Structures are given as structure tokens and as C-alpha cells.
Chains A and B, each alone.
Chain A
Amino acid sequence: MTARANELEALYVRLEKPVFNVVYRWLWNVEEARDVTQEAFLKVWQAWERVDAATVEPLVFRTALNLAANRLRTRKLWGWLTLEPVRERADERAAPDEALDVERRRAQVRRAVDALPEKLKRVVVLCELSGLSYAQVAEALEIPSGTVGSRRNLALAALQKSLGPLEDA
């Protein structure tokens, strides 16, 4: 395998899980989240010659978020065009025998996250799931570092309003 391919593999292995988790919070579908995750890496790979190694991680997350948002818009538009009612997608992780309250809590979390304004949602999901530093989140979202902190706090406050107090860890 070429050195270039090795670099991509190393990047993919390192970032697949966090990117998948970020994208999943947009699409709430495992298969679509996996597809969009891979599309993001493919796009970055196509521009590999022009990519700065120091900023490749924020670039991957930025690309993934944009693809996920586009996919969500397309899904909503398709639902509008076909006049299909927008059904809340069931959490696929729920096992049939899982307690009903666990399923209810997950649905509640999902509604609370989906209700966040887009700008706050991007910041809080990246901060909590990507493993990026505040500076890297700022790079990914192309916003000032200080804005990351303030938007994260606003997002967590909104989530606590919906879900009750959130304990650390």
C-alpha cells in the first residue's frame, strides 16, 4: 500500500468513531451516518494534495457536518415533496427487550438535541463527541475560539431546560 494510502487509513481509523457519532446526531440513522462519514473522508481524500496536515481533523469534521446537514435537508424536502408525514425515526439501538424508560429517555434526548438552533448544536456536538480542542472546533466551524465556549454554554443550558440538570460524566 502506498504511503499516501497509509496516511488515509491512519486518519480514518483514528477519526471514524468520533465523526460517525457527530453525524449520527444529525441523521439518527446508523446506515446513513456511516455513508456520510465515508463520503466526508472521500472528499477530503480527493483534495489531499491541498490539505494541511495540521488542520486535517477540523476539515474532516467540517466536511462531515456539511454533508450531514445537506442529507437532512434533502430528506425533509423529499418528505415535503412526496407529502409523506415526517415520522420520528425510532432509535435503532433499542433492543426489543430494552426497558421502556430507556427508550423514552433516548427519544427525549434526541428531541432536545434536534430542538437546538443549528449554530449551538454544531458547537455542543463537536465539543462533546469529536475529541477536538476548542481551537480545533473553532477551526472546523470557522468561528472565533471565544464563540465556541459561549455557544457551548448556551447549548448546555438549553438542554438542561429540556432534560433537567446534567451531571458531569
Chain B
Amino acid sequence: MKRSDVFEPLEPPPHGWTRMKARLEERRRPRWPLALAAGAAVFLAVVLQQPRVDVTAELRRSPSAGAFGLKVSSEALTLKDGASQQLPSSDENVLLYRVAVVSPSEAPPSE
């Protein structure tokens, strides 16, 4: 056998430099716009999945609703085993009550 049979030189596939140039161009292209777009897409997907909250309704139910300028329902105050007496308030958005814990038999009529 000849040594050239063992180490027979082969021709590489054609257009090697063209392909090489394309790989160099691809590496030179900045990748941050793609990364930024991908990150924004993920963020939006997560945010849009969150259940929507009716903020106004939540605030209205909150004890601090008056501080936000929301009128409090007159039925908001409920008591169990207690009595309440409404007191005068200079601010129509603020309701004042005097409350006490009493047994049901002792509870005065609410005013």
C-alpha cells in the first residue's frame, strides 16, 4: 500500500469561504435587540396573565376609603355582640361611631 493511500488528501466541500464569511457576519451582528425583545415579550406574557383587580371596589371596602375620597356605604359597619352609636362628623366622607361590646339583650337600639 502507498503512504498516499493511507493519507489521501481530500477536497473540502465547495464555497467554504462564502460560508465562513456568513458566519463572521452573524457573529458581528449585535444580539441585544433580540434579547431585549425576548425579555419584553416574557414580561408582557407574565403581566397579562395576572388576574385584573378592581382597585376602586377594593378601596371602597377598605377602612381607609374616606382618605381616598370614596364615599363609604352607610351599611359598611356591622357589629356582632356589640352596639354602635353614630357621632356627628364635620366631613361627609368620614363616619364616626362609638362602639361597645355588649350582650344582645343589653344592646340599645342603634341611632
Contact of A128 among B7, B12, B19, B23 (CB under 8 A): B7
Classify chain A's interface size: 35 or more
B residues sitting closer than 8 Å to A (CB atoms) are 1-7, 9-13, 16-17, 19-20, 23-24, 27
Q: CB-CB < 8 A to B7: which residues of A?
A: 21, 125, 128-129
Secondary structure of the B side of the interface? helix
Question: What would 20 A/B residue contacts be, using CB atoms closer than 8 Å?
Answer: A5-B24, A16-B16, A16-B17, A20-B10, A20-B12, A21-B7, A24-B10, A30-B10, A30-B13, A31-B13, A34-B12, A38-B16, A42-B20, A42-B23, A42-B24, A109-B5, A113-B6, A128-B6, A128-B7, A167-B1
Contacts of A168 in B (CB 8 A): 2-3
Contact B13 A166 (CB under 8 A): no
Cα of A38 to Cα of B11 in the assembled complex, Å: 15
B20 touches A166 (CB 8 A): no
Q: Given A112-B6, A167-B1, A169-B2, 9 more contacts at CB 8 Å?
A: A5-B24, A16-B17, A21-B7, A21-B10, A30-B10, A38-B19, A109-B1, A165-B1, A167-B3
Q: What number of A-B contacts does a CB cutoff of 8 Å give?
A: 72
- How many angstroms from the CA of A169 to the CA of B2 in the assembled complex? 6
List chain A residues, Cβ under 8 A from B1: 105, 109, 163-167
Query: Chain B residues with Cβ under 8 A from A129's Cβ?
Result: 7, 9
- Contact present for A128 and B3 (CB under 8 Å): yes
